[in-house]
């Protein structure tokens, strides 16, 4: 790696947030020789939206769940492999070469709201039709858009597809579409696919590889990365109140004011807070305010909530090979976005459950997925209310009136004051330029450029909403500073680890 000029290694760099983006930036900068790198973390832990918890004896992921596309192109996979954090099957060439396009080929079970378990062979053709429509919705980048949103496009195509079908086929088809829409709300972190821009939907890119998990928890990646840093790099329980840039009163152009009143000067600040936090607090977080074009892009880019509800049972009521179960509501066949009473109907937004595998490790443990306003409402309920609703739902769909969960645990990302939701998606009217604007440093030119830099999953042009996207943006901003201070271009450090 090309060296940084010795007179510049004392440049003061403050990183706001100790998630994967902030940590990866710090690792790269310190490895390059910078000696004055400080991470300010609002909470008492590192990891941000990577958060591992426990349910009984089981390790569960409250936050990030999978390595999406575990292959040589994925830096998270390469680091996890280097640190020895993965199961052997995740490392096989076959796993790395699989092209799943964001939809792993999980073995499904289908249950209906009248307590019937359906033959998967009858449902799979309908599901394949839905997935084909979904894939078609990713083909409008740079083209004329027949609808402003992905949701409107899918519903229109589905109505067209089953317009001449018999009543039973049409009803079942619409139930499958409705279930797909709920699942895709979880994938995209949105309340409704009507909020996801049709033209921008294709900006997201997938990597090859069958999604895999961390047997001992995703936080193992964070702990290993932190071990690459000097022990005093992260200052915990230190929320940042305001970042004053273009400062002329001190020698350094940036002043970072913390909630406790502490003020520190910096040459550069890398901001890695979530887009949800930016949307809510940008007006007080930056002085002077962010440029209008950046503010407009922050508004156009979407940010929503996807939560998990872990449910443990004493024994399995699903097939031994089942990896995902879909709950089909037989009354959801109009494809009209009804305004439902959240109090009575929030649980209907849960599309179903994934089965935690292998059984030898997890026992009989399911993970339910729920997104949007219903997910946000769920967070306000007591553990008892959530358990009761989930129990009633499962009893209804299985037709078993005595099924009782052993334990239940849920995430609550919307009411987390430092994330304000889960992850980003391209909203209606959003374009690739908005993602570029989010990543643009301030200022880009002048005698003191690069005072405020931006990293985090929402700033990646095609891997937004992912851990590898967040990690790459931390590397990107570190490289931006290395290029600024080096006489020649630099290479990634983390990719060589």
- Write out pLDDT tens, residues 148-169: 999 999 999 999 999 889 988 8
Pairwise CA distance, residues 416 & 274, whole Å: 11
103-205+306-410: CATH number: 3.90.660.10
pLDDT > 80? residue 119? yes
Order across the sheet with 452-454: list the strands.
234-235, 37-40, 13-16, 268-271, 452-454
Cα-to-chain-centroid distance, residue 101: 17
| Helices 167-188 + 150-161 axis angle, to 10 | 160
6-49+215-302+423-496: in CATH 2.160.20.10: no
Residue 489's pLDDT band, with cuts at 50, 70 and 90, is very low
Mean pLDDT of the chain: 93
Higher pLDDT, 48 or 446: 48
Furthest-apart CA pair in the chain: how many Å? 76
49: left (phi over 0), alpha (psi -120 to 50) or beta: alpha
Residue 3's pLDDT band, with cuts at 50, 70 and 90, is low
CATH 3.50.50.60 residue spans of the chain: 6-49+215-302+423-496
Query: How confident is the model at residue 336, as a pLDDT?
Result: 54
Omega of the bond leading into 78 within 30 degrees of 0 (cis) = no
- Write out pLDDT tens, residues 424-448: 999 999 999 999 999 999 998 888 9
What is the percent of the chain where pLDDT is above 90? Answer: 86
Reduced 3-state DSSP string for the chain: CCCECHHHCCCCEEEECCEHHHHHHHHHHHHCCCCCEEEECCCCCCECCCCEEEECCEEEECCCCCECCCCCCCHHHHHHHHCCCCCHHHHCHHHHHCCCCCCCCCCEEEEECCCCEECHHHHHHHHHHHHHHHHHCCCCCCCCCCCCEHHHHHHHHHHHHCCCCCHHHHHHHHHHHHHHHHHHHHHHCCCCHHHEECCCHHHCCCCCCCCECCCCCCHHHHHHHHCCCCCCCEECCCCEEEEECCCCCCCCCEEEEECCCCEEEECEEEECCCHHHHHHHHHHHEECCCCHHHHHHHHHCEEECEEEEEEEECCCCCCCCCCEEEEECCCCCCCCCCCCCHHHHHHHHCCEEEECCCHHHHCEEEEEEEEHHHHHHHHHCCHHHHHHHHHHHHHHHHCCCCCCCCEEEECCCCCCCCCCCCEEECECCCCHHHHHHHHCCECCCCCCCCCEEECCHHHCCCCCCCHHHHHHHHHHHHHHHHHHHECCCCCCCHHHC
- Write out pLDDT tens, residues 120-147: 999 999 999 999 999 999 999 888 899 9
- Write out pLDDT tens, residues 361-389: 999 999 999 999 999 999 999 999 999 99
Using CA atoms, how far residue 319 sits from 107, 391, 453, in Å, is 9, 19, 50
Pairwise CA distance, residues 331 & 114, whole Å: 10
Query: How confident is the model at residue 142, as a pLDDT?
Result: 81
Query: How confident is the model at residue 6, as a pLDDT?
Result: 61
Average pLDDT on 390-398 reads: 97
Q: Which of 238-247, 263-272, 293-302, 324-333 has the lowest mean pLDDT?
A: 324-333
Higher pLDDT, 400 or 486: 400
What is the percent of the chain where pLDDT is above 70? Answer: 95
Q: Centre a 10 Å sphere on the Cβ of residue 138 and count the other Cβ atoms it contains.
A: 15
CATH 3.90.660.10 residue spans of the chain: 103-205+306-410
């Amino acid at each position: 790696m090309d060296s940084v000029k010795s007179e510049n290694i004392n440049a003061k760099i403050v990183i706001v947030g100790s998630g994967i983006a902030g940590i990866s930036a710090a690792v790269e900068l310190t490895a390059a020789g910078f000696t004055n790198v400080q991470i300010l973390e609002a909470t008492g832990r590192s990891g941000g939206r990577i958060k591992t918890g426990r349910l009984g004896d089981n390790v569960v992921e409250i936050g990030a769940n999978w390595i999406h596309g575990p292959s040589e192109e994925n830096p998270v996979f390469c680091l996890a492999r280097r640190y020895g954090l993965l199961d052997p099957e995740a490392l096989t060439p076959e796993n790395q070469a699989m092209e799943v396009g964001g939809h792993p080929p999980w073995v499904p079970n289908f249950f209906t709201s009248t307590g019937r378990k359906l033959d998967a062979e009858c449902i799979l053709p309908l599901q394949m039709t839905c997935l084909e429509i979904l894939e078609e919705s990713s083909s409008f980048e740079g083209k004329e858009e027949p609808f402003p949103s992905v949701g409107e496009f899918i519903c229109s195509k589905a109505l067209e597809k089953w317009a001449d079908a018999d009543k039973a086929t049409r009803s079942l088809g619409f139930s499958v579409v409705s279930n797909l829409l709920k699942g895709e709300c979880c994938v995209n972190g949105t309340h409704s696919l009507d909020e996801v821009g049709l033209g921008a939907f294709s900006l997201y890119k997938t990597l090859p590889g069958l999604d895999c998990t961390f047997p001992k928890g995703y936080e193992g990646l964070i702990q290993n990365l932190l071990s690459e840093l000097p022990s005093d790099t992260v200052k915990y329980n230190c929320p940042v109140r305001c970042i004053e840039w273009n400062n002329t009163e001190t020698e350094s152009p940036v002043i970072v004011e913390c909630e406790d009143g502490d003020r520190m000067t910096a040459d550069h600040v890398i901001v890695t807070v979530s887009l949800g936090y930016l949307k809510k607090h940008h007006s007080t977080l930056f002085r002077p305010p962010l440029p209008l074009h950046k503010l407009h892009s922050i508004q156009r880019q979407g940010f929503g909530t996807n939560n998990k509800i872990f449910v443990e049972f004493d024994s399995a009521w699903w097939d031994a090979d089942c990896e995902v179960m879909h709950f089909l509501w037989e009354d959801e066949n109009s494809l009209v976005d009804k305004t439902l009473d959240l109090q009575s109907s929030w649980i209907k937004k849960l599309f179903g459950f994934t089965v935690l595998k292998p059984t030898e490790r997890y026992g009989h443990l399911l993970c339910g997925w729920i997104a949007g306003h219903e997910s946000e409402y769920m967070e306000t309920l007591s553990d008892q209310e959530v358990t009761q609703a989930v129990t009633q739902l499962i009893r209804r769909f299985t037709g078993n009136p005595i099924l009782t969960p052993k334990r239940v645990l849920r995430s609550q990302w919307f009411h987390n004051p430092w994330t304000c939701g889960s992850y980003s998606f391209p909203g209606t009217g959003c374009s690739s330029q908005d993602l570029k604007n989010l990543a643009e440093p301030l200022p880009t030119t002048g005698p003191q450029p690069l005072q405020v830099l931006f990293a985090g999953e929402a700033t990646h042009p095609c891997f937004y909403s992912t851990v590898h996207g967040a990690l790459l943006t931390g590397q990107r901003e570190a490289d931006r500073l290395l290029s600024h201070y080096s006489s020649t271009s630099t290479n990634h450090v983390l990719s060589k680890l």
